[in-house]
Amino acid sequence: MQALAYARPSSLASDPQGHLLGLETAGGLTPAGPEEHPRFFAGFLRSPQAAARGLLAVADVAAARYHQRTLRASLDPVVTANGDRLRFESFSGCCGVYARLDVLPEGLDGADTGHGTTNVDVNNPLREALSRLAGDDPMHLRVGPDELAVTTLEGPVVEKKVPLPDRWLRGFAESQVVSAGFDLRAELPAAEAVRFLRTLPRAAAGGSSATGRAPLWVVPAGASLRPTTRPVPGAVCLPGPERLAALQRVLRHATGLRVYGPAAHGGAATASAWEVAGPGMRLTLTLSPEPHRGFSGEGGVLEALATDDAAADAELVSALLAWEPRIDTADLAEQSGLTVQRVRAALVRLGTAGRVGYDAAEAAYFHRELPYDAARAERHNPRLGAARALLADGAVALRADATATVASGERRYQVRESAGGVLSCTCQWWADHRGRRGPCKHALAVRMARRARTAPPADRTTDTRTTGGTR
C-alpha cells in the first residue's frame, strides 16, 4: 500500500468571479523529480458543469465495488498533467472498472498545464459542492497549488491519509494491455447515446453483479445499438451493464458515445471501453470481461515481464519519455534504434510500473508516473515467480518437436506450441481459461527456457543470474 497525505481537504469556494475548485494533491512525480505538493494547473474550465460531473463520475468509480459489495472503497483518483490536458483516473474497489476523465486542451482556459502525476483528494464536502454546481458560473481549477507548502488557511492544517493499493498498479498495467487491442466498434450521436445508456439495468443498492450468466453483447444497428445473445460479427461485449452507471453523471452534457473492443471470437466474454464525449472532455469506462474479474489478475503483462530484452529496452525507452499526451511509437523506434514491435513490448513493461497508459480514442499510449517500481510489479505476479522457480529447479524439459514437459510437484504437464506461437498446456489453469487470462506458469517457464536456449552466451549468463536472484 502507498500512503498519501494531503495538507488540507479539497474544496469548492465562492469567488467574486465565480467558483474556485481547489484539488489538494499528495506527493507526486514531476519532470524535476518528486515534489511534496506539486502544482499542475491553475485556470478556468470552459465547461465547468460537465467537467465537475465527469470528476464526480471518476470519484464514483473509485468509491464503488461492483462485485461483492460488502465494503465501500474510499480511494482518491490519480491525476496526470500532460502539458496540454489533465487526466483523472481511478479503479473500482473490485478493480473491475477503470475510469478516466480526459479534460482536453479545448476544455481548459487561461493557464498553462504542467507535467506530472499525483493523487487528488475528492472528499464528501467537495462531492456535495460539485453536485450543487449549477448555471453558467465560471469555475477556476487549481491542481496542487504550490503555495500550500508555505502558507495555511485560518485554523489548523488538516492531514488526510488514504491507501493506494498495489492492486491499482496491476490494474493500470493490465488495462493498458487490454485496451491496446481495442478498435472502434460503434459510434452513436448524443440522442441515441442517452437513450441507450438510460435503458441499461442498474444493480440494486448493496447487491452484487450476477455471475455465471451468459455475457451480454450489443451490435451496431443504424445510429444505435441493439442487444444480442450471440457474438455476431461486429458485436461488442457488455459485461455487467450495471457497471456503466457512473456514465449517468454526464449524460446531459453528452455529445456522443463511442464503443471500443476486440473482435468477437467464440462465445467468451471480453473487455470493452465505453466513452462519452462532452464539451472539451471525454469520460471513458473500461469494463473487465466479467463482473467478478478484476483487471489486476488478467495476466496480459506476464510475457513482457518475462522477457529480458524488454527489460533492457524499457530502460532505453523510459529515458526518451517526456510526459507526452500521445506517444508516437514510430518516433520512439527511430530515436531508440529499436523496432516498433520491441518499442511496444517495452511500453507494456513500463506499464507494469504505471509509467504509461493507453488512450483508445487516440489509439496511442500516454506518459504518466506513479510511485511504484517494476520490481514490485513482478513480485505481485505470482505466476511469474512460480515460472522462474520452475526454471531454476530444472523442471523444464524442451523437445525438438515444439513440445515440452514441465515437472511441477508430483505431476508432469505437456506444453505445446501452436502454429501461431501460442503455448497450450495440460494443466487445469489452461483448461479453465484457454489462454484468455495470460499464460499459465508452466507455459511461461517454457517460453523463458526457450529464450534462454536461443540467446547468445553472454545473455544466457545474465538470464541465469536473474533467475537465481528472483527465486
d(C-alpha 312, C-alpha 337), whole Å: 13
d(C-alpha 295, C-alpha 437), whole Å: 10
Residues 429-453: what's their mean pLDDT?
A: 84
d(C-alpha 7, C-alpha 160), whole Å: 7
Cell (9 digits) for 351: 506499464
Residues 445-451: what's their mean pLDDT?
A: 87
Is residue 297 packed enough to be buried (19+ CB in 10 Å), middle (13-18) or exposed (0-12)?
A: middle
CA atoms within 13 A on the CB side of 281: 31
Phi, psi of 214 (to 5 degrees): -65, 140
Cell (9 digits) for 171: 490494474
Lowest mean pLDDT among 22-31, 307-316, 330-339, 405-414: 22-31
Please tell me the pTM assigned to this model: 0.78
Residues 162-169: what's their mean pLDDT?
A: 63
Cell (9 digits) for 109: 482556459
Residue 234 · residue 185 · CB < 8 Å: yes
d(C-alpha 314, C-alpha 344), whole Å: 9
d(C-alpha 107, C-alpha 48), whole Å: 9
d(C-alpha 186, C-alpha 228), whole Å: 15
pLDDT digits (tens, 9 = 90+) for 111-159: 678 887 877 777 777 787 778 777 666 777 777 533 322 222 233 233 3
Query: E-assigned strands of 385-444?
Result: 396-398, 403-408, 411-417, 423-425
**pLDDT surpasses 70 at 233:** yes
Is residue 125 packed enough to be buried (19+ CB in 10 Å), middle (13-18) or exposed (0-12)?
A: exposed
**pLDDT surpasses 90 at 54:** yes
pLDDT digits (tens, 9 = 90+) for 344-353: 888 888 887 7
Cell (9 digits) for 416: 505445446
Domain limits, the chain: 2-47+66-88+101-164, 382-471
Residues 7-11: what's their mean pLDDT?
A: 56
**pLDDT surpasses 70 at 161:** no
Residue 159: the pLDDT is 30
Residue 36: the pLDDT is 61
| High-pLDDT (> 70) share of the chain, % | 73
d(C-alpha 273, C-alpha 282), whole Å: 12
**pLDDT surpasses 90 at 218:** yes
Residues 33-51: what's their mean pLDDT?
A: 74
Residue 11: the pLDDT is 53
Residue 122: the pLDDT is 76
d(C-alpha 139, C-alpha 54), whole Å: 14
Contacts of 115 (CB under 8 A, 6+ apart): 30, 31, 40, 81, 82, 83, 323
Residue 139 · residue 33 · CB < 8 Å: no
Residue 471: the pLDDT is 26
Residue 182: helix, strand or coil by DSSP?
Answer: coil
Q: What average pLDDT is seen over the chain?
A: 77
Region class of 434: left (phi > 0), else alpha (psi between -120 and 50), else beta? left
pLDDT digits (tens, 9 = 90+) for 60-84: 998 888 765 544 555 678 888 888 8
Residue 383 · residue 423 · CB < 8 Å: no
**pLDDT surpasses 50 at 207:** no
Residues 192-216: what's their mean pLDDT?
A: 69
- Cell 505431476 identifies what position? 411
Contacts of 437 (CB under 8 A, 6+ apart): 297, 298, 299
**pLDDT surpasses 80 at 100:** yes
Nearest partner of 118 among 56, 52, 40, 57, judged by Cα: 40
Residue 343 · residue 319 · CB < 8 Å: no
Lowest mean pLDDT among 13-22, 86-95, 181-190, 353-362: 13-22
Residue 30: the pLDDT is 56
Residue 375: the pLDDT is 61
Residue 20: the pLDDT is 58
Residue 438: the pLDDT is 77
User: Element (H or E) spanning 13, and its range?
Assistant: strand 11-15
**pLDDT surpasses 80 at 440:** yes
Query: E-assigned strands of 232-390?
Result: 236-238, 256-261, 272-278, 281-287, 356-359, 364-367
pLDDT confidence bin for 296, thresholds 50/70/90: low
Residues 353-359: what's their mean pLDDT?
A: 87
Residue 332: the pLDDT is 93
CA atoms within 13 A on the CB side of 75: 29
pLDDT confidence bin for 9, thresholds 50/70/90: low
- Alpha helix positions (H), 39-154: 48-62, 124-132
**pLDDT surpasses 70 at 178:** yes
d(C-alpha 430, C-alpha 424), whole Å: 7
Is residue 364 packed enough to be buried (19+ CB in 10 Å), middle (13-18) or exposed (0-12)?
A: middle
Residues 228-256: what's their mean pLDDT?
A: 92
Residue 1: the pLDDT is 46
Residues 281-293: what's their mean pLDDT?
A: 92
d(C-alpha 312, C-alpha 457), whole Å: 17
